[in-house]
């Protein structure tokens, strides 16, 4: 789910809401564009583990006033962001800590998020589905799908059905080999080294 938020009075788009993340992330490229002082950064030398299991270094963390709703009755909460330098299509990742601080409920079915305001009303934030698709595709580096032309049966070669590749590069046994049966039918044999004794066979 992709939304827009306000962080330290800067409007930021392309914000990914990730309920599976245990941290909030402000990407380094976004931080640099915000013209905030690096003196605000608190050193933090721990690594975080990405979805793919890759360990990523952090540049520290900082606490920034964050508002999710653009409405005047929306809430503003101080959110702790880890600074991460990564190649991503998004500017910010909002994880569970931020969602819990706002008391937010996310509906992926309705592509919406609701949370209570300080005035007792319910604020609703809707995701931008078109932008979400664009950045999901960019993250996966998906190329446009071109429908292949239909092939007639006569055009399909049997070699296309062979899952083995690089059969020319297969390892060959050294020394003499001998065949041993591995099934009840003639021809169901495999080769083993000829120097093996009966116990090793």
Write out pLDDT tens, residues 56-88: 889 999 999 999 976 676 789 999 999 998 888
pLDDT band for position 199 (cuts 50, 70, 90)? confident
Q: The domain 2-140: what is its CATH number?
A: 2.40.70.10
Q: What pLDDT score does 173 carry? A: 66
CA angle 128, 129, 132 (to 5 degrees): 90
Tokens of residue 31, six digits: 């931080």
Return d(Cα 179, Cα 194) in angstroms, integer: 9
The average confidence (pLDDT) of the chain is 81
Residue 142 has pLDDT above 50, yes or no: no
CB 100 within 8 A of CB 21: no
What are residue 12's DSSP bridge partners?
Answer: 5
Return the pLDDT at 158.
47
List the chain domain ranges: 2-140
Per-residue pLDDT at 143: 46
Higher pLDDT, 27 or 53: 27
> Tell me, what DSSP letter sits at residue 135?
H
CB contact burial 18-50 (16+ within 10 A = b; e otherwise) = beebebbbbbeebbeeeebeeeeeeeeeeebee
Q: How is the beta sheet containing 112-116 ordered, strand by strand? A: 105-107, 112-116, 122-126
Global pTM value: 0.63
- Does pLDDT of 139 surpass 60? yes
Question: pLDDT confidence of 43, banded at 50, 70, 90?
Answer: very high
- Per the structure block, which two tokens stand in for 48? 């975080």
For 159, the token pair is 């070699």
């Amino acid at each position: 789910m992709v939304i827009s938020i306000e962080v330290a009075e800067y409007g930021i788009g392309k914000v990914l809401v990730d309920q599976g993340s245990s941290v909030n992330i402000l990407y380094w490229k976004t931080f640099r564009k915000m013209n905030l002082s690096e003196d605000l950064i608190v050193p933090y030398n721990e690594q975080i583990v990405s979805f793919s299991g890759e360990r990523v270094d952090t540049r520290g963390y900082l606490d920034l006033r964050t508002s999710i709703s653009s409405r005047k009755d929306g809430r503003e909460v101080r959110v702790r962001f880890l600074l991460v330098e990564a190649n991503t299509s998004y500017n910010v990742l909002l994880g569970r800590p931020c969602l819990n601080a706002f008391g937010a409920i996310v509906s992926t079915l309705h592509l919406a998020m609701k949370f209570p305001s300080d005035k007792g009303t319910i604020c609703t934030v809707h995701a931008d589905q078109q932008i979400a698709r664009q950045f999901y595709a960019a993250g996966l580096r998906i190329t446009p799908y071109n429908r292949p032309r239909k092939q007639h049966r006569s055009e399909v070669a049997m070699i296309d059905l062979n899952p083995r590749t690089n059969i020319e590069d297969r390892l060959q046994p050294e020394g003499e080999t001998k065949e041993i049966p591995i099934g009840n039918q003639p021809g169901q044999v495999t080769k083993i080294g000829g120097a093996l004794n009966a116990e090793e066979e």
